[in-house]
Amino acid sequence: MKIEDDIKLEALANLPTSVGPLLVSPLTLKEIIQYGYSKYSQVVQVALLTKEQLIKPEYLSQLSPQLSVAEIIFELFEDDLSSYLVDALRLFLKADVVHYKNNALYIDGLEVSSEDFNEIIRIIKIQNCLVTPNDEKFNPLNEHAARIKKKMLESKRKIQELGHDNINDQSLSIFDLISILSSHANGITIFNVFDLNMLQFNDQFSRMKLLDEYEVNIQALLHGADAKQIQLKHWISKLM
């Protein structure tokens, strides 16, 4: 099993991560858009599936702990779920042929063990900033993106006297997030933002968030805010 920091560094450098002879590649925003963002959103959810979600606990306890999610999906779910898994593996491994035969998964003619499959899924999750829904470390970008977008539109809102219009009540799309980052991040523009992969995009958005919060808090302190009520965190800090 590869160290998580090594996987993140490779993705930050836009490099693939190897699992034996196979390579798991981080996708750029441009590649995701060319593939179809809606379709990407569907197939990538396969990486979040767990055995507990697929099989009831009373039946799961009777199965081998070595059984992978792939084996469960291909053996028990011969429908869209198995096709999504095939699409996901073809997409992230840039593979031509993915099939399941005689209780074994093959990618471009190479048999993939349960351990290697689990490692592939782990890498896909890291490269695409995916976490299971109950992961307490999950920190979605939308809340801060909404606040930034609200600041961007503040002057226009005053001029047009929209008053009751509240950006926090609106659901931000990937279109909005890309637009926000390319409008505010140092060196990232609408002309190069699509060369970022999802980890790079998330990293730069989160770094922008820290910088923005730091500047807002500094201004608040300079204007007499109670220092005890402000948690001042420098933007040169470790991202969560």
- Residue-level pLDDT at 216: 47
How many of the other CB atoms lie within 10 Å of CB of 35? 14
Largest CA distance in the chain: 71
pLDDT at 228: 52
Which candidate, 178, 174, 180, places its Cα nearest to that of 147?
180
Query: Encoding tokens for residue 229?
Result: 């009520």
Number of CB atoms found within 10 A of residue 90's CB: 16
At residue 48, the pLDDT reads 85
Query: Confidence band (pLDDT; 50, 70, 90) for 213?
Result: low
pLDDT score of 151 more than 60: no
- What the block records as the tokens of 184 is 């505010």
> At 142, which helix (H) or strand (E)?
helix 142-152
* Residue 44: HSE in the Cβ half-sphere, 13 Å Cα cutoff: 22
Q: What is the pLDDT of residues 170-208, one digit of tens each?
A: 567 889 889 988 887 678 999 999 999 999 998 888 887
User: What pLDDT, in 10s, does the model give residues 4-18?
Assistant: 999 999 999 999 999
Q: Give the start-to-end residue ranges of the domains of the chain.
A: 4-127, 142-229
Query: Within 13 Å of residue 173, how many CA atoms lie on the same side as its CB?
Result: 3
Q: Average the pLDDT over 99-112 and give the result.
A: 94
Q: Tell me the C-alpha distance between 235 and 209, whole Å.
A: 8
Token pair belonging to 29: 């925003």
In this predicted structure, what is the pLDDT of residue 90?
A: 97
Report the pLDDT value the prediction gives residue 163, as an integer from 0 to 100: 34
Stretch 65-76: mean pLDDT: 86
**Is a pLDDT exceeding 50 seen at residue 72?**
yes
